[in-house]
Every structure is written in C-alpha cells, then in structure tokens.
Structure 1
Amino acid sequence: MTSLLEQAEQTLEKAQSGINPRWYPRYHLAARAGWMNDPNGLVWFDGWYHAFYQHHPYSIKWGPMHWGHARSKDLVHWEHLPVALAPEGPADKDGCFSGSAVVDGDTLALIYTGHKFHGSVDTDDNLYQVQCLATSRDGIHFERHGMVIDTPPGLHHFRDPKVWREGEYWYMVVGSRVENTGQVRLYRSTDLREWHDEGILAEAEDDMGYMWECPDFFTLGGKRVLMFSPQGLAAEGYKNRNLFQSGYLLGEWQSGQPFSHDGQFIEMDNGHDFYAPQSFLSPDGRRIVIGWLDMWESPLPEQQDGWAGMLSLPRELSLGDNNCVLIKPAAEVTALRGNYYPAPAHNLNNQKIFVASDADAVEVLLTWERNASTAEQYGIALGEGLSIYVDNQAQRLVVDRRYPEFSLEGTRSIALPADSTLSLRIFIDRSSVEVFVNEGEACLSSRIYPQPGQRDLILFANHGTATLKDAGYWSLNK
C-alpha cells in the first residue's frame, strides 16, 4: 500500500510542472505546489539549515496538514526535500500541525501538534490537540514516536510547541485557549519524551486575544522575549490592522519563576502580510526569524496558478538601546546581490524619475534627507499597484497596495523615526515586498500582484522637493 508520504510526493511531482510562474517567488521559499502556511522546525542540523512548513500538497487551499521540507547551506538558496510528515497516525489523523525542531546529539527531533477529532468535526467539543515526536538521523526520513503530551483536561485548542535546551533540561512552550483567553503553557523534560507540566508562562490580559498561537521564548540581549501570534486583538488606530498579529512581550524569567513583563505587546511587522514567525539560532549564535508572508482570510491570487503561500526572508533579531527588538535582513541575503545600478538622480522637484523596468527580483536602497525634503509625499512606486512613500503631513511611512481586481487594496504605515535621515532597504520579489527601516527599527511586509507591464520602478515627489543621500538597486539572483 502506498504511504501518505509517497502519495504526497507523487502528487507534488505532477503538480509542480503545471505552476504558472508569473508570481512564484524568485528568491523566497514557497512550496513546489499546493498550499503553504506557518514555518515549522527551523533549525541548523548536520551542515544544513532546515525549514519545514505547514503544507497541503493536494490542493491550493488549507487542508489536512503535512510538513513540507526544504534545506539550504546559506538561508537563501533552498533545495526541496520529500514531505517529512503526513497525518497517518492515531495521534495526528486529522493533521500534523505546527511545531519546532531541535538537535539532540546526532538526532534531529521534530515536536509538533497532532490534530484530531473524536467524532464530528463540526464542533470544537470533539477537537483534541496533542504534542507528538518524530526523529531522524539523516534529517530527511523520520521515525514517528506518537504522542508525548496529551491534551490538558478541559482544553481543546492546545498547539504549536516550541522546544529549546537550557542547562540540563529541554523546555517547551505551547499556545492554548481557555474559553476566550489566550495562554502560553510551559513544560520541562530531560529526554523529549517525558514532560513535566510547569504551569502557565503567560496569559492574555486586557483584551489581549482569545488564542495565542505559535509561541516562541528566547533570550535576546539579556532579556527574555515571548514572541507569539495572538488572535482576537481589536484594531486600534494604526495598530493591529490585520486579521491576526504577530509580536512580542519583553521581560525577565528564570526556570521555576514567573515570566515578568511590562504587558506592552509590540508588533513585529507592520505590513499587510506577516504571521506565525519562528526563531532559531544560527551556528554563530545569531537569532534568526522567518514568518509566513501571508494573512488568514486575505485573497491569494496565486491560487489560480497552482500554489499558495510563501515564507519571508530570514531576519536577524537584536535588542536596541531602548529595549525594542531590532529586525533586519539576515547577512546571508547579500549573497543574492548581482549588479548594482545607482539611481539616475538624487533630487526630485514635483516630478517622477524612472529607475528600472521589469523589477521582479531587486533590492532597493533609499536614504532620504528628511530635513531637505518638503514634498507632501515622496517615495518609490512599482507600476500602478504599489507605492512606498513618506507622508509629510501625517509624518508616517506608508506602504500602499492597489490591486482592486483581486480585492487587495489599502495602506499600512508606521510613524516616521526621529532621525533626520530615513534609510530603507526594500526587497521586491514577483509577488512580495519587504521594507526594512533604519537598520532594524521597523519592517513592513506585503504581498503584491503586478500584472504584465506593471513592474517599472519610479521615484516620485508630489507637491514639493525631495532629496536622496543615497539611492540605487541590486538585481537579485535566484
């Protein structure tokens, strides 16, 4: 009998030849075909970076979750590997949900949520989520060990384990929901198989969400960071504009003690599309994060092309002087750079200046002199669908996308930093844009869907002048 893993591989091999490449990323990781969402099991093992991800190989829509798998030597050039997990056991019969990976000696261990219904799938009363283990010596083929943590009494939503080693113990955080309150629960183990319940690490207060998905807990610059994706936050002005958010709480923690934090939830990305980020350590000790470059219930026009969903660029985290997490592209991203093309002009006076055509894989560098710029709006546009600009009146940096044919319209923005210069690194791929601000102070990520002939890069200044200290772009190689 053909296993579910073999069936998934056969399906993908047939489907990937039919992909329409018009929006398929040139340098981001996406599934060969079918559906992709959360990154899982990000880890360095046996000389390779491994990225697993939530995957439905049989359709362009969310379905019974598998774990897709790719590996890379440098975080930017990815090789697809066979599907690692399929829902083929009693503990995960309805889906292998999100989780993480750790290296245990010479073994790669995947810890993930088994998703199952006992009875009808029409009610959460029949839903049970348990934590499962699978291991591998070669990093490709996995032996399943079944459930290692059962659903706590009275819970139904209990998922997304993130495991790390600290001292003599393994620790695990798991997201959960108690009625309409999101929580992160903590566990401890010596062997990844027997786990001791350490209680609640953190939980929602003051309308901080009914479910906390994809928790991650790590040390950064001497502080403890609880990174998670809360569901159910109300929009407030410019904040929390997406259906769900991803962000962090900063505080202090020692084993056996409560997590002490100030309660200030800070979004990690202010664009239209970023969710379920997961972190890992590079071999040289950097904290790297990758997220899902999409948002639930947002249109995904690439579904008509045989695929859906992609992952963000790898991002390096550090702690700034003001105790805020700085987020910038991982250093490895510069390996993609090809030729550099300086901008044709650095001064704009109520005008538009052509920069490049057919920009489907570029990194743009712009450093604006804000004190010398009086224009009401100034920035850069990609065709007629995307513009990234300073709104001088509102004192905000804005990402504006306009693809009405796909019901994708609207802006996301951040308050302008206090500096007199505004430095932007803008990564444009076939269907995405990621904007990094002032060496990590902020980032905004959104999906974009330019039609043919709508990829010209244009600098502009409206109603006044704008001055660039530095400007140009690199073509990026796959």
Structure 2
Amino acid sequence: MSYKPMDFSNDSIARAEAYLEQVRPAAEASRWKPKYHVSAPANWLSDPNGFCRFKGEYHLFYQHHPYAPKWGNMYWGHMKSRDLVRWEHMPTALAPDQDYDKDGCFSGSAMEKDGKLYLLYTGNVWTGSDWTRDLQQVQCAAVSEDGVTFTKVPQNPLISSAPSGDIHPNHFRDPKVWRQGEYYYFVLGSRSRSDRGQALLYRSSTLLDWEFVSILAQGDARLGYMWECPDLFALDDKHVLIISPEGMAPEGDLYHNKSQSGYLVGKFDEERGTFEHGDFHLLDYGFNFYAPQTTLDDQGRRVMVGWMSMWDDEMPEKADQWAGMMTMPRVITMKDNQVLSMPHPELSQLRGAIIAYNDITLINEVNLEGVRGHCLELELKVRAEEGSVFGLKFGCSEDGTEETVLTYDGREGKLILDRTRSGQGPGGVRKAPVQLRDGRLVLRIFIDQSCAEIFVGDGELAMSARFYPGEASDRIVLFGDGSAVVEQLDKWEMNSCWL
C-alpha cells in the first residue's frame, strides 16, 4: 500500500488538547479518580507506550482517545516525571493525522539517539468493516529535540508490510526497541497464519532502516492466537520476554481474564536471532493488568508499568468522562528463574502519617481505630499456622453490603481476591498459589479510590484489581479463625502523585 503525505500542522493535537480541557473538570471530580496512580487528564487511557528516561526525566506515553472514555482512533498521551513518583501531564504527543496512521497511532516504544527522542509506533488503517481482518498495520517513527513536540519522520512508514512466511499479514504491531552493541533491535507482536501468538525480531544500524531477522518465539495453541506488546530485556544472566497473549483458555484458577500478561525466561542470541525459553508465567494474578512495558531507572533497575484495566471491563468511571489507569511503577528482579515485582522504593515519598499496631490476634472480625480510607498503603506481617484462614476486607460499607475480600486460605495454599460484593463494576474471584515462608505471610496492599495492588513477600506474587465502592465505603476489617497473629501492621495515608 502506498501513502500520500498529509500536513495537518499539529491541528489534530491542538484540537485534542482543547477538548480535553473542556471535559477535564468532570473527570477530576470523579470519586473514583485515583490519587497516586496515574491516569489521563480525561477520557480513554490504555497501553503504556514509550516508557523511557530522556535528558534526566522519565517519560510515559500511553494509548489515548482524547474525545471519549472508550477505545477509538488512538493518539499518544504523554506525562513525565523526574523521579517516577511525582508526575505532570504533557501535551498529546502523536495524533492519527497521516494516511498511514489515520485510524490510530497504536502502541510502541522510545529510544534516544544523538540527543533526540524517537518514538517507534504502529500506524493502523482500517480497510473494511471486519476489524479482525480488514486492517493494514505499518511501523513508523516520530522524533523530538525536547521530548515534548514530535515530528513524524519523512521516511514513514519505515516498514510497510509484514514479512513473508508463517506471519499473519494484518496483525503486526507494538514495536519495543533497545540498543545492543552496534545495532538497534525491536520485537513486534504477531500471529502466525494458523493463529498462534508469536514475536518477530528486527534489526537496524540507523533506527530508521530495519531488516527482518526472525520469528523470535512462537507459542503453541495454549498461548493464544496473538501476542501483543512484547518486551525483551536482560535480567541478571538471563533474558525475559514479556508478552500479552490474546485468546488463552482458562486452566484451573489461571487465565480467567479476557487477555493475559506474562513472561518467558530464556537466552537471547542476537547473532542467530533465537530465544530459547521455558514456560509461560503470569506477571499478575489479579483482574486488571495488561500490556506492561519496562525501562531502566537512573540506578539501573528494571522498572515496569502496566495498564490496570481489561478490555471487557464495564469501567463505571466512563460516566465521569475518564477510563483507565496505570499500575504504580514496579521494580522487577529475578530469583530462581522467577520474575519478582515490587513497588518502586521511591514511592515511599508519597506516604503521609503512619498508624501502627502490633500483636493482633485475628479471631472473627477485627476493626482497628484509624485503619480505614480510600487512599492508603498497608503493610502486614502475619504469623500463622499451617491451614490458617485469615485476611482483610476493604472498601467496606457500614452495613456490610459492600466489601472487597482478600483471604489467605492455608488449607488450599492460595490467596483469594473476591470482588463479588465490591459495589459497581464487574465482580469475580481470582486465586493465586501462595505458601507461608517460615510460618509468616507479608502483604503490602495499596488502595487508591477505585483500585488495589497487592504484593506478597519479596514480590513473588502480585494481584491488581479495579473496584468501585460507594463513597462512604471506606472501612477496613481484619478477620481470621484465631490461628493467625498480625505481628505488625503499618498504615499510611498516601499523598497525590501529581505536581
């Protein structure tokens, strides 16, 4: 397909910014808008894009529909931070204003070169009414001197069609770029002609002229029909390929979300274009985690951000002119071939006053004075017996009709997150395998208006969830069967992440 140039002189971005300013007050007034999790000023936010550090600042772009709180023709929204803690909104970075991307600037990534910031993204064009088949996807770039105003390069599209072979010609997206030695590489999400998810590898010496290297990895039928938003990086002496498969069938307690996000651990050989890897593992066992992207922070730590929503969610916040948020930045590490994830340590800067308790026996229900709220962090260290059952309820109403319940069931060796009675929005239950360590369970729980992030131990398990309690449903209740003791409980109010 050939494309003719179109000159919009950034009118598309100016119009989007003007509309966002009109609807922003309604979004900011929403009781469900998070305080220390980032979201768009208004309307739709989904995949994190272009997560990077440029000229001493972190930039986080994202899939954005500025005109409605629903998915549509994708723009790239933009925010930045000096420390991954406090953020500020920036002008929209990319608009679908060219022939080759007129139906969406889809997901991608960022790379610094010669003091400039390049965004690599997928341009999308619908060619018919069947959105699973009638589409043309191409790979494109835009460049900026200051990291704020971007110009699409005249060479676009850099890659105008999918390679030949066992590669679906229409599903070919989400470039994630890195530099290794004298070359730039990126991985692309893809599907085979027989509908198996896979990742493609490309290489370039210029960042603009790309050659196809190989099908880097391909799944079996179990791993879905399409891998979105791949991300390949080194972690210790291994390599990790993050993928977000579409079309995985449930297996026991696992894979009950519409789409999944997880990882493969293996060894990447850039000379041969191969990635030998082990089994697929989830990055998050909750309801709402998709399309994560990573970068390195100023200390060399690998940091990950994900979209904390899911494609089939009701998203009651749409009525308030916004939809979607990101997880907190998580530092990911490797232990025994398992990826661990924990909140970035700098996030402790957002803590306010602390309330602490010690040696609380969990029998029936326990209410602790001062331990309630919509915007807080909890850390619990619990000593328990084998077979203990205990947990906590949050977002609880006074009459008990609303509650989100987190239960450790030692009889099953599982952590159970139940939002059946969470208020508005979807319900459901998610279960994850958890064992006591030396007779103890350590939990960190972050609650922020309409979301929760839960971390176990040193990060061996994470669970994320959106939930929509009533405005007065701010109680937190501990419970147990009498066989567990909270050795320590710390509760902090959390301050806003916005400058």
Q: TM-score range by the shorter chain?
A: over 0.9
Cα distance, 1:393 vs. partner?
A: 2.6
CA gap 1:439/1:357 in 2 versus in 1, 3 angstroms: closer
Within a 5 Å distance, the mapping from 1:332-343 to structure 2 comes to 332-343=346-357
The residue aligned with 1:222 is: 237
Moved more, 119-128 or 211-220: 119-128
Distance 1:183 1:351 in 2: 48
CA gap 1:252/1:344 in 2 versus in 1, 3 angstroms: closer
The residue aligned with 1:460 is: 479
Equivalent position to 1:429, from 448, 453, 460: 448
Equivalent position to 1:14, from 3, 22, 30: 22
**1:397 is the counterpart of 2:415:** yes
Normalising to structure 2: TM-score of the pair?
Answer: 0.92
**1:406 is the counterpart of 2:424:** yes
Cα distance, 1:261 vs. partner?
A: 3.3
Cα distance, 1:444 vs. partner?
A: 0.3
Distance 1:315 1:450 in 2: 25
Cα distance, 1:213 vs. partner?
A: 0.2
Cα distance, 1:278 vs. partner?
A: 0.3
Cα distance, 1:402 vs. partner?
A: 2.8
Moved more, 308-317 or 248-257: 248-257
Could you list the per-position Cα deviations for residues 256-315 of structure 1 after superposition, in whole angstroms to 9, with x for gaps in the alignment?
225343441000000000000000011221100000000111110100111000000000
Secondary structure of 1:343 counterpart: strand
Distance 1:403 1:114 in 2: 41
Q: State the 4+ residue runs in structure 1 displaced beyond 6 angstroms.
A: none
Equivalent position to 1:200, from 215, 221, 224: 215
Distance 1:35 1:431 in 2: 16
**1:46 is the counterpart of 2:55:** yes
**1:62 is the counterpart of 2:71:** yes
**1:126 is the counterpart of 2:127:** no
**1:416 is the counterpart of 2:434:** yes
Structure 2: which 5+ runs fail to align? 1-7, 397-401
> Identity, % of aligned pairs?
41
Distance 1:75 1:332 in 2: 7
The residue aligned with 2:94 is: 85
Secondary structure of 2:36 counterpart: coil
**1:148 is the counterpart of 2:158:** yes
**1:241 is the counterpart of 2:259:** no
- The alignment's C-alpha RMSD in Å is 1.7
Q: Which amino acid aligns with 2:445?
A: I
Cα distance, 1:206 vs. partner?
A: 4.1
Could you list the per-position Cα deviations for residues 377-398 of structure 1 after superposition, in whole angstroms to 9, with x for gaps in the alignment?
3334331321212123322111
Could you list the per-position Cα deviations for residues 13-64 of structure 1 after superposition, in whole angstroms to 9, with x for gaps in the alignment?
1110122320001011100011010000000011211000000000011010
**Conserved 8 A contact 1:248-1:267:** yes
Moved more, 261-270 or 341-350: 341-350
The residue aligned with 2:380 is: 366
Structure 1: which 5+ runs fail to align? none
Secondary structure of 1:417 counterpart: coil
The residue aligned with 1:266 is: 281
**1:191 is the counterpart of 2:200:** no
Could you list the per-position Cα deviations for residues 103-160 of structure 1 after superposition, in whole angstroms to 9, with x for gaps in the alignment?
112101100000012x423354431111100000100000101211122255100000
Distance 2:447 2:358 in 1: 19
The residue aligned with 1:299 is: 314
Could you list the per-position Cα deviations for residues 415-460 of structure 1 after superposition, in whole angstroms to 9, with x for gaps in the alignment?
1224121101101001100001001111000001110211111211
**1:448 is the counterpart of 2:467:** yes
The residue aligned with 1:137 is: 145
The number of residues matched between the two structures is: 474
Distance 1:213 1:399 in 2: 26
Distance 2:240 2:109 in 1: 17
